[in-house]
């Protein structure tokens, strides 16, 4: 690994909170009578909370004011946070933890680069509260992916140049953000087939072969 820093996305890379996002958005959509399914949920990967709500409301006949949208997003987030309390350190896979440990042993500095405003709560639930050298998340950005802000902040917090950092992402919008910021990228899941991704990962541990 020739990178001084590795910046990890959270949902879809380090852990799988998408099922909780789905349950919480589904309850909100059912409550207001708007159709929502797993396929629409896939479009929400890496997308901020308000942008996610706008995607869900594409199916709504009613137009919502900003105040109404804020209330809906809050309702969803309260339920989502309740669901997150089901998470424990057992939700962190041995493969993810041992791969990150090995990268640290090799002298890489590790950061988080997540769109989520709940990232610190999720890290606590996974037992990773103090693990990363830097955490950049939805609380320190104004533009969400594909804007590179979250990764640029992560590099700044690590005191490293983007060209010296590798971004690990599961979302197409995340790879686009990495490219826009001048980072090299590794894609997993649907991001592995992004046409401009530098490394396609079949498993998380493949990072050790880069």
Q: Which strand (E) or helix (H) includes residue 208? A: none
**Binds 153, which of ligand B16, Mg ion, none (CB < 5 to 8 A, cut-off by type)?**
none
Q: Does 128 bind ligand B16 (CB under 6 A)?
A: no
Find all residues with CB under 8 Å of 172, minimum gap 6, and list them. 46, 190, 191, 194
Nearest to 87 by CA among 119, 118, 126, 131: 126
| Residue 101 to residue 135: CA distance in whole angstroms | 17
In sequence order, the 6+-apart residues with CB closer than 8 A to the CB of 43 are 55
Give the residue, chosen from 1, 120, 138, 192, that forms a contact with ligand B16 under the rule CB under 6 A: 138
118 is a site residue for ligand B16 (CB under 6 A): yes
How large is the C-alpha radius of gyration of the chain?
A: 17
Sequence-distant (≥ 6) Cβ neighbours of residue 207 within 8 angstroms: 1, 6, 99, 103, 168, 186, 201
44 binds ligand B16 (CB under 6 A): yes
**Among 21, 26, 109, 194, which residue interacts with ligand B16 (rule: CB under 6 A)?**
21
Residues 50-89 that bind ligand B16 (CB under 6 A): 52, 77
| 181 forms part of the interface with Mg ion (CB under 5 A) | no
Does the annotation count 101 as an active-site position? Answer: no
* Of 30-38, 43-51, 124-132, 155-163: span binding ligand B16 (CB under 6 A): 43-51
Altogether, the residues listed in the chain come to a count of: 210
Question: Which of 45, 153, 184, 194 contacts ligand B16 by CB under 6 A?
Answer: 45
Among positions 99, 115, 136, 185, the unique one binding ligand B16 when judged by CB under 6 A: 115
Q: Is 170 a catalytic residue?
A: no
- Catalytic residue annotation: 9, 11
């Amino acid at each position: 690994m020739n990178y001084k820093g590795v910046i990890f996305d959270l949902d879809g890379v380090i852990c799988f909170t998408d099922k909780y996002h789905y349950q919480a958005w589904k309850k909100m959509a059912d409550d207001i009578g708007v159709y929502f399914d797993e396929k629409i949920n896939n479009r929400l990967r890496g997308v901020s909370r308000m942008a996610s709500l706008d995607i869900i409301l594409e199916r709504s006949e009613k137009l919502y004011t900003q105040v109404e949208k804020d209330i809906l997003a809050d309702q969803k987030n309260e339920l989502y946070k309740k669901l997150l309390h089901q998470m424990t350190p057992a939700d962190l896979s041995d493969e993810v933890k041992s791969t990150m440990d090995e990268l640290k042993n090799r002298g890489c500095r590790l950061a988080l680069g997540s769109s989520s405003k709940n990232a610190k709560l999720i890290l606590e639930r996974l037992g990773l509260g103090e693990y990363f050298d830097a955490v950049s998340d939805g609380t320190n950005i104004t533009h969400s992916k594909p804007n590179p802000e979250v990764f640029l902040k992560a590099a700044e917090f690590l005191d490293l140049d983007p060209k010296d950092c590798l971004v690990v992402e599961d979302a197409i919008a995340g790879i686009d953000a990495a490219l826009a910021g001048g980072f090299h990228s590794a894609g997993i899941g649907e991001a592995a087939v992004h046409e401009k991704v530098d490394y396609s990962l079949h498993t998380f541990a493949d990072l050790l072969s880069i």
